[in-house]
């Protein structure tokens, strides 16, 4: 949960624009949702099955859940404090207001009533609980209201409790038209509108209370690798059940009476430790639309234009450019458009025979998909490995696979039991008597939207050995057979773990021999015990190690006699740090790799991953400068992991402030607009 807490700190950081701070607050809420849907749900399952102590800390699931509860209570309390005491007052000072129903003037109240009658009444279905109206099924993370009533209805029934489910078709924050209020940026919560007029839903009854609640459910999908015959069909069935998985968390309005909370606990089969009181909207993530709606660009990050590579500006023929030398892009500072254009040119080039691509997250209606469909319709041999098990994108990927198949592309779902997480494009082109392979490899997803928000590297190359390696990897994904040896690419689940250990141990051996030993690695998570032990051994041998880890890091730096030579930092800023870079000094002949894999057991053993070398000296220097040294120099957005497991924010002190992401924006992107 450290990364969620670090994100919350960004909401308090006044060096960020105000509406971006609100956005950071929303991200903490959505990240916490996923943490409960997957991680806490997994711990609860282990608890039910009586799992024993596990992991380096040797904590039982029950002990871990207790610690999660304590940390979450503090985090949630701080979330609402930041919202209510900091962000809302500061937004109000900038004339961006969330209007409370007690403060509506006559014009605002009239507009709200019209909105309620026009937009809400036709779609609301209040349910009074009685023998013929049991407690309804509550959708995962949906907004609901528990209403207490007195009196009898037209049939003489007494229904002391009713449920009102907020319609999913409406946003949770409504912007009031300027004609009906005092300014262009006045908002009202959907929950406030329902609260104000809930009595209209129960004519003749007295509403004595109305309280928001939201339940979070286990959203991890399970398919039996040995039983399924069609992965897409099995997943479609699981997706339906995800909405109503076992409850793992209940959020309720802080003012909800204890007996009403107990009623909900009973209905969802939850304990007191699963309940979290909210001092405001029960789903802070839904405030994400406010920065988009507010007409205050001065309170948002300045817009920027990702730069288009000069080589491609001078020569628009991708194949000629790549043939003359490798091309490296650093997103989002450099444009993602070349990746799309590469596919478009391949789809339209009569000399291109084959296109193969892995897709993890992209979207069924993305330009990547359209280019692949165009290629298939143009008679190219198009093979797409669609990873259906990309968490929370399963439905979109099933739709994507269907569209591609209808266009005539060959679609496979990788290897059951191993997620296809590598990012690869292979284009085979006839050039005279030769068939030349052009390859794109990346650390991120083929998703234009995340390419604007995530930091990632990608490489275009026509290197013969890499092209053959990628061809072999695709063959293992589409056809049965033994794994053949690769020449340059390191490949999970087969060689990546072993090679990483060998590279670490080589640095340790060099240090013990009196040579310089140096490791720098950047990734999203570091939890693999064997790798951590190898890093400890390298540290004891005298290797200087810097780790840039955005999320979970199970390694403890600075432990005397164990990890004295290891430093760990995390960068939290405007963009989500997503690139994976491994640097090994190799006795002054550095080796640099880019990868799709974090140093986690699941990446090493349960996923298809690629790790590829950057051999061009100029490009290798770029990766070291932009992706590693730049982040080690950050003294503004960096958080340093201490020996006690807590993070401390770096401060410039007497040094010149250095923001790694802003440095890259200034250096790589076109002028801000």
More confident residue, 244 or 567: 567
Both tokens assigned to 28: 């903490």
Decide the pairing of beta strands 247-253 and 275-278: parallel
The region of weakest confidence among 73-77, 182-186, 287-291 is 182-186
* pLDDT given for residue 225 in this prediction: 45
* pLDDT given for residue 226 in this prediction: 44
Residue 11: strand pairing partners: none
Given a cut of 60, is residue 68 above it in pLDDT? yes
Where are the extended beta strands (E) located within 462-565?
490-492, 518-523, 544-549
Instruction: Provide the H-helix boundaries in 349-495.
Output: 367-377, 394-407, 464-478
Burial of 225 (0-12, 13-18, 19+ CB in 10 A): exposed
* Tens of pLDDT, residues 629-666: 999 999 999 999 999 988 999 888 778 899 999 999 99
Helix axes 394-407, 367-377, angle to 10 degrees: 20
Q: Which CATH number fits domain 310-488: 1.10.1740.10, 3.40.630.10, 3.30.870.10, 1.10.3720.10?
A: 3.30.870.10
* Tens of pLDDT, residues 525-538: 999 999 999 999 99
Supply the DSSP symbol for 560: T
More confident residue, 481 or 281: 281
Given a cut of 70, is residue 117 above it in pLDDT? yes
Supply the DSSP symbol for 391: T
* Tens of pLDDT, residues 541-558: 999 999 999 999 999 999
Residues of the chain with CATH 3.30.870.10: 310-488, 492-668
Find the mean pLDDT for residues 450-466.
96
Given a cut of 70, is residue 200 above it in pLDDT? yes
pTM, two decimals, is: 0.90
Both tokens assigned to 643: 């020996």
Q: Which residue has the tokens 């692949």?
A: 372
* pLDDT given for residue 53 in this prediction: 63
Find the mean pLDDT for residues 475-493.
90
- Closest by CA to 457, choosing from 283, 637, 346, 333, is 333
Mean pLDDT over each residue of the chain, to the nearest integer = 90
DSSP, collapsed to helix, strand or coil, labels residue 130 as: strand
The per-residue DSSP string of 182-235 comes to SSTTEEEEHHHHHHHHGGGGSTTSEEEEEEEEEEEE-------TTT-S-HHHHH
> Quick one: which H or E segment has residue 534?
helix 529-541
* pLDDT given for residue 197 in this prediction: 96
In which band, very low, low, confident or very high, does the pLDDT at 267 lie, cut at 50, 70 and 90?
very high
* pLDDT given for residue 355 in this prediction: 97
- Closest by CA to 427, choosing from 388, 465, 460, is 460
* pLDDT given for residue 224 in this prediction: 45
* Tens of pLDDT, residues 571-586: 999 999 999 999 999 9
Both tokens assigned to 573: 């800023």
Angle at 556 between CA 552 and CA 557, to 5 degrees: 115
Would residue 578 show up in a list of annotated catalytic residues for this protein? no
More confident residue, 268 or 397: 268
Q: Which CATH number fits domain 492-668: 3.40.50.300, 3.40.50.11540, 2.40.400.10, 3.30.870.10?
A: 3.30.870.10
* pLDDT given for residue 50 in this prediction: 75
Q: Distance between CA atoms of 409 and 348, rounded to whole angstroms?
A: 15
Note whether 367 and 444 are within 8 A (CB): no
Find the mean pLDDT for residues 20-25.
96
* Tens of pLDDT, residues 201-246: 999 899 999 999 999 998 775 544 444 445 555 445 554 554 557 8
Q: Percent of the chain having pLDDT more than 90? A: 74
Note whether 421 and 360 are within 8 A (CB): yes
* pLDDT given for residue 242 in this prediction: 47
Find the mean pLDDT for residues 127-142.
86
* pLDDT given for residue 366 in this prediction: 87
User: Is domain 2-234+245-299 annotated with CATH 3.30.1840.10?
Assistant: yes
* pLDDT given for residue 231 in this prediction: 53
Catalytic option among 421, 440, 491, 578: 421
Residues of the chain with CATH 3.30.1840.10: 2-234+245-299
* Tens of pLDDT, residues 387-398: 765 555 566 777
Find the mean pLDDT for residues 321-350.
96
């Amino acid at each position: 949960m450290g990364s969620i807490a670090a994100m919350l700190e960004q909401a308090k950081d006044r060096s960020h624009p105000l509406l971006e701070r609100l956005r950071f607050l929303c991200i903490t809420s959505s990240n916490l949702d996923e943490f409960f849907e997957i991680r806490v749900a997994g711990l609860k399952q282990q608890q039910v099955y009586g799992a024993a102590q596990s992991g380096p800390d040797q904590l039982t699931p029950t002990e871990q859940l207790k610690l999660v509860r304590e940390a979450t209570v503090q985090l949630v309390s701080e979330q609402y404090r930041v919202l209510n005491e900091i962000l809302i007052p500061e937004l109000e000072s900038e004339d961006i207001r969330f209007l409370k129903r007690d403060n509506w003037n006559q014009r605002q109240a009239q507009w709200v009533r019209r909105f309620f009658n026009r937009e809400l009444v036709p779609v609301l279905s209040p349910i009074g609980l009685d023998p013929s109206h049991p407690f309804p099924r509550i959708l995962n993370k949906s907004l609901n209201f528990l209403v207490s009533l007195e009196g009898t209805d037209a049939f003489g029934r007494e229904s002391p409790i009713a449920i009102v489910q907020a319609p999913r078709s409406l946003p949770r924050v409504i912007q009031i038209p300027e004609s009906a209020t005092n300014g262009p940026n006045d908002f009202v919560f959907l929950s406030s509108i329902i609260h104000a007029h809930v009595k209209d839903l129960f004519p003749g009854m007295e509403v004595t209370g109305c309280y928001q609640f939201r339940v979070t459910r286990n959203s991890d999908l399970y398919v039996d690798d040995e039983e399924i015959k069609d992965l897409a069909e099995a997943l479609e069935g699981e997706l339906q059940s995800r909405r109503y998985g076992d409850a793992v968390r209940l959020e309720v309005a802080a003012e909800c009476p204890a007996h009403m909370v107990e009623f909900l606990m009973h209905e969802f089969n939850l304990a007191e430790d699963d309940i979290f009181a909210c001092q405001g909207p029960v789903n802070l993530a839904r405030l994400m639309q406010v920065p988009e709606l507010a007409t205050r660009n001065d309170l948002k990050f300045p817009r920027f234009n990702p730069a288009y590579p000069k080589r491609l500006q001078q020569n628009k023929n991708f194949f000629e450019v790549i043939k003359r030398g490798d091309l490296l892009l650093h997103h989002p500072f450099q444009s993602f458009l070349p990746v799309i254009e590469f596919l478009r040119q391949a789809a339209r080039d009569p000399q291109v025979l084959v296109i193969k691509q892995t897709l993890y997250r992209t979207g069924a209606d993305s330009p990547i998909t359209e280019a692949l469909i165009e290629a298939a319709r143009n008679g190219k041999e198009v093979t797409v490995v669609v990873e259906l098990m990309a968490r929370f994108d399963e439905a979109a990927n099933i739709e994507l696979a269907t569209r591609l198949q209808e266009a005539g592309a060959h679609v496979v779902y990788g290897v059951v039991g191993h997620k296809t997480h590598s990012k690869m494009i292979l284009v085979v082109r006839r050039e005279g008597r030769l068939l030349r392979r052009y390859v794109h490899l990346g650390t991120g997803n083929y998703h234009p939207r995340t390419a604007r928000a995530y930091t990632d590297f990608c490489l275009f190359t026509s290197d013969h050995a890499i092209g053959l390696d990628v061809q072999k990897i695709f063959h293992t994904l589409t056809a049965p057979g033994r794994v053949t040896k690769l020449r340059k690419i390191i490949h999970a689940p087969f060689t990546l773990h072993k090679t990483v250990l060998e590279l670490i141990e080589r640095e340790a051996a060099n240090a013990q021999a009196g040579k310089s030993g140096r490791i720098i690695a950047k990734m999203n998570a570091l939890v693999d015990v064997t790798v951590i032990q190898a890093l400890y051994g390298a540290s004891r041998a005298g290797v200087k190690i810097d780790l840039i880890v955005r999320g979970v890091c199970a390694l403890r730096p600075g432990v005397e006699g164990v990890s004295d030579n290891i430093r760990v930092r995390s960068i939290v800023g405007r963009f989500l740090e997503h690139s994976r870079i491994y640097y090994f000094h190799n006795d002054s002949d550095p080796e640099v790799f880019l990868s799709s894999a974090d140093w986690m057991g699941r990446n090493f053993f349960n996923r298809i991953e690629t790790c590829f070398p950057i051999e061009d000296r100029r490009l290798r220097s770029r990766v070291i400068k932009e992706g590693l040294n730049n982040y080690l120099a950050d003294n503004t957005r960096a958080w340093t992991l201490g020996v006690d497991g807590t993070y401390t924010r770096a401060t410039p002190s007497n040094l010149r402030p250095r923001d790694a992401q802003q440095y890259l924006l200034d250096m790589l992107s076109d002028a801000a607009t």
